[in-house]
Amino acid sequence: MRHGKSARYGRYTGGPDPLAPPIDLSDALEEIADEVMAGYSPEQAIREYLQRGSRDMPGLDELAGRVHQRRRDLLSRHRLDGTLQQVKELLDEAVLEERKQLARDITMDDMDRDFREMQLMNLPESTAAAVTELSDYDWQSTTARQNYEEIKDLLGREMLDQRFAGMKDALENATDADREAIAEMLNDLNELLDKHARGEDTQQDFEDFMAKHGDQFPENPQNIDELIDTLAKRSAAAQRMLASMTPEQREELMQLSAQAFGSPELMDQLSRLDANLQALRPGEDWTGSETFEGEQGLGLGDGTGVLQDLADLDALAEQLSQSYEGSSLSDVDIEKLARQLGDDAAVSARTLAELEKALYDSNLLRRGSTGDLRLSPQAIRRLGKSLLKDAADRLTDRQGQRDTRLAGAAGELTGATRTWQFGDVEPWNVTRTITNAITRTVSEGNDPGERLRLEVEDVEIQETEARTQAAVVLLVDTSFSMAAENRWVPMKRTALALHQLISTRFRGDELQLINFGRYANQVQVEELTAMAPLYEQGTNLHHGLLLATRFFRKHPSMRPVLLIVTDGEPTAHLLPNGQSWFSYPPMPDTLHATVAELDRVSRMNSDITFFRLGNDPGLKRFLEAMAKRVEGKVVAPDVRDLGAAVVNEFLHSRRPNLPFAF
């Protein structure tokens, strides 16, 4: 309040909120990446995400559901005989008032009274026929005459309201001059449309028409095409409303239309207008119909508006489905959506459109050599960082302990410091850590002298020289059962988390990802992420171990670390000719070949850990026997904790002499 004046603030309605934070792609990236890792293409994954939405944002499916619900509500709430009912009520009131007047009028000739009574009593049951029959009746009651004249006025306003929204209210209590102005507008409009159909009109013709009759068109069209589009949509909706009526209602209305304003000239002009518009815009739906089952009667103008709403809802449903060629969320008519479902729905749709654009414009997706869309290296890094954090959180939550590795044991100090990150075991730089805490506390407006609280982001560590380097192989089972038992995505998430940890915290280490199904292959993390489920039988651990051995031999100075993720016994092995031999149950030859190759890996002094998924007794016996044979370890995590388990075991293998736990 200032100088006696006040200001009121409300929701910003001028489009996207200019103060809204930028679109956060983190959550979207994680969900889309899960779909990609499950076998969807990035385009499919983005489409699925936008359809589904997120916890805090409704998706296209929810908006489409609200569109369909509103459509059902309109049809179940309304019926189309509102104008006919109004006419019947006015007619009944007029007849009643007239009979009252005849009974009161003692000066009237008895024969004349009896004739009038007989005429009123024997009116046709059809409202339209009764109105027509009374068109020449000499009303004795002023009230009755007014009611009958109101019927003609109502019909005229409703007929106009069908073609020009809002005309019914605008012409209430209209004078003869007002009706003459409407008649002149209709004549000028039809002349303009005729001229346009012949290709003889100019922009000046349109501007002259608008200068004369522009107040009748609140839509404010800027050229004749916009004018025709607006009128054609309304006129087509009027035709669909007529087609949606019962044959009896339609017949009644057609008869009554001649009484509009007490002259057939109005209907002549409107019929001419409909014909012009249909010829100019044949693509509109001029013949469709709907089934209304409600109790709320609609007048002609309101009914036409509802038919337009139904057409808008149908268009929105198609736009939200995104099922047509070249579809994009920029196609969604935000203004139409706000009109039908409210501002909140419009904000949601606009946010989804911005998110879609941000995903395609960001560096998170890129085209491969074949033109297909893939997650970019930047997306892989961001996703790996998130998955690594999730693995750390799961370990901390599950065991409730903190890192207890000895400070300084990672190597000699280099003198440099950096911010602590997950996986670091180096000693703290206490001076830098306290300085960071004081600086942050002061910037937050607090007095560091009263109470100083350390946050994780304050901690800086002293960098050390790594004493050892490791050659790490992650062998992941990609056989049929991994996909069938919903272990496909957790396996990929595990690989990404380990890749992120090694590439950021153990840069001197070398990581090789190897997948094994019927055959084994060395793969890059991007390839593994995009790999579709392989519905082929065969668990060729033997081939995977051969590739692991070859990798370890390429790095003789590094410490070998072998991590094997599998959910089944070996059922395939590689023959001397390079072919894969598959048999289930496992053949002795397969087991012998696998054990022999595992022995070769063990002789390199490798740290070997098996991660058993599922509860297959045969697999359990086999892995326990193998772990005992090579002095390795078997870990049986829940599939949701696979990433955390692999990261934990890797860190143990890298710091074997340190007490370590989460």
Which tens digits make up the pLDDT trace of 8-42? 666 655 555 555 555 667 777 777 777 777 767 77
**Inside any domain, residue 506:** yes
Structure tokens at 263: 């002259």
Give residue 423's pLDDT.
62
128: number of CA atoms within 13 Å, CB side? 17
254, 276, 291 - which closes a domain:
291
Give residue 400's pLDDT.
38
615-648 burial string, b = 16+ CB within 10 Å, else e?
Answer: ebeebeebbeebbeebebbbbebebebbbbbbbb
Band of residue 169 on the pLDDT scale cut at 50, 70, 90: confident
Do 456 and 589 lie in a common domain? no
Burial (CB count within 10 angstroms: exposed 0-12, middle 13-18, buried 19+), residue 492: buried
Do 496 and 572 lie in a common domain? yes
Between CA 276 and CA 281 the distance in angstroms is 9
**Inside any domain, residue 190:** yes
Q: 146 pLDDT exceeds 90? A: yes
Give residue 9's pLDDT.
66
Q: Which residue has the higher pLDDT, 353 or 209?
A: 209
Tell me the range of 364-378, 382-396, 487-501, 512-526 where mean pLDDT is highest: 512-526
Q: 343 pLDDT exceeds 50? A: yes
**Over residues 352-376, mean pLDDT:** 73
Do 177 and 58 lie in a common domain? no
Do 128 and 148 lie in a common domain? yes
Q: Which residue has the higher pLDDT, 100 or 174?
A: 100
**Over residues 365-393, mean pLDDT:** 72
Contact at 8 Å (CB) between 610 and 626? yes
Question: Running DSSP on this structure, what letter comes out for residue 639?
Answer: G
Q: Which residue has the higher pLDDT, 187 or 267?
A: 187
Q: Which residue has the higher pLDDT, 31 or 660?
A: 31
**Inside any domain, residue 355:** yes
464, 489, 508 - which closes a domain:
464
What CATH number did the domain enclosing 645 receive?
Answer: 3.40.50.410
Band of residue 655 on the pLDDT scale cut at 50, 70, 90: low
**Over residues 622-640, mean pLDDT:** 91
pTM above 0.75, yes or no: no
**Over residues 325-353, mean pLDDT:** 89
Band of residue 510 on the pLDDT scale cut at 50, 70, 90: very high
**Over residues 254-283, mean pLDDT:** 88
Tell me the range of 131-145, 488-502, 645-659 where mean pLDDT is highest: 131-145
Tell me the range of 21-25, 64-68, 463-467 where mean pLDDT is highest: 64-68
Query: Among 542, 543, 550, which Cα is nearest to 521's?
Result: 543
Of 243-247, 394-398, 483-487, 639-643, the range with the lowest mean pLDDT is 394-398
Mean pLDDT of the chain: 85
Q: 445 pLDDT exceeds 80? A: no
Beta strand 365-367 with 373-375: parallel, antiparallel or unpaired? antiparallel
**Over residues 422-435, mean pLDDT:** 78
Read off the amino acid at residue 322: Q
**Inside any domain, residue 98:** yes
Do 532 and 456 lie in a common domain? no
**Inside any domain, residue 403:** no
Give residue 227's pLDDT.
95
**Over residues 287-315, mean pLDDT:** 93
Band of residue 86 on the pLDDT scale cut at 50, 70, 90: very high
Do 419 and 529 lie in a common domain? no
- Count of CB atoms within 10 A of residue 448's CB? 15
**Over residues 333-356, mean pLDDT:** 89
Q: 187 pLDDT exceeds 80? A: yes
Q: 195 pLDDT exceeds 80? A: yes
Band of residue 186 on the pLDDT scale cut at 50, 70, 90: very high
Band of residue 403 on the pLDDT scale cut at 50, 70, 90: very low
Contact at 8 Å (CB) between 662 and 403? yes
**Inside any domain, residue 383:** no
Between CA 40 and CA 492 the distance in angstroms is 14
Q: Which residue has the higher pLDDT, 108 or 475?
A: 475
231, 258, 291 - which closes a domain:
291
Of 99-103, 140-144, 381-385, the range with the lowest mean pLDDT is 381-385
- Count of CB atoms within 10 A of residue 500's CB? 25
5: which strand partners? 2
Do 285 and 349 lie in a common domain? no
Give residue 337's pLDDT.
93
**Over residues 489-499, mean pLDDT:** 88
Band of residue 506 on the pLDDT scale cut at 50, 70, 90: confident
Do 417 and 486 lie in a common domain? no
**Inside any domain, residue 225:** yes
Band of residue 205 on the pLDDT scale cut at 50, 70, 90: very high
Read off the amino acid at residue 505: R
Q: 656 pLDDT exceeds 60? A: no
Give residue 464's pLDDT.
62
**Over residues 99-125, mean pLDDT:** 90
Do 270 and 158 lie in a common domain? yes
Q: 555 is in which domain, residue-wise?
A: 470-654
Give residue 243's pLDDT.
93
Do 510 and 645 lie in a common domain? yes
The total number of structural domains that make up the chain: 4
Do 73 and 101 lie in a common domain? no
Hunting for tokens 């890996």 — which residue is that? 601
**Inside any domain, residue 319:** no
Extract long-range pairs of 481-485: CB within 8 Å, 24+ residues apart: 481/539, 481/567, 481/568, 481/614, 482/533, 482/567, 482/613, 483/533, 483/534, 483/535, 484/535, 485/567, 485/613, 485/614
Do 115 and 101 lie in a common domain? yes
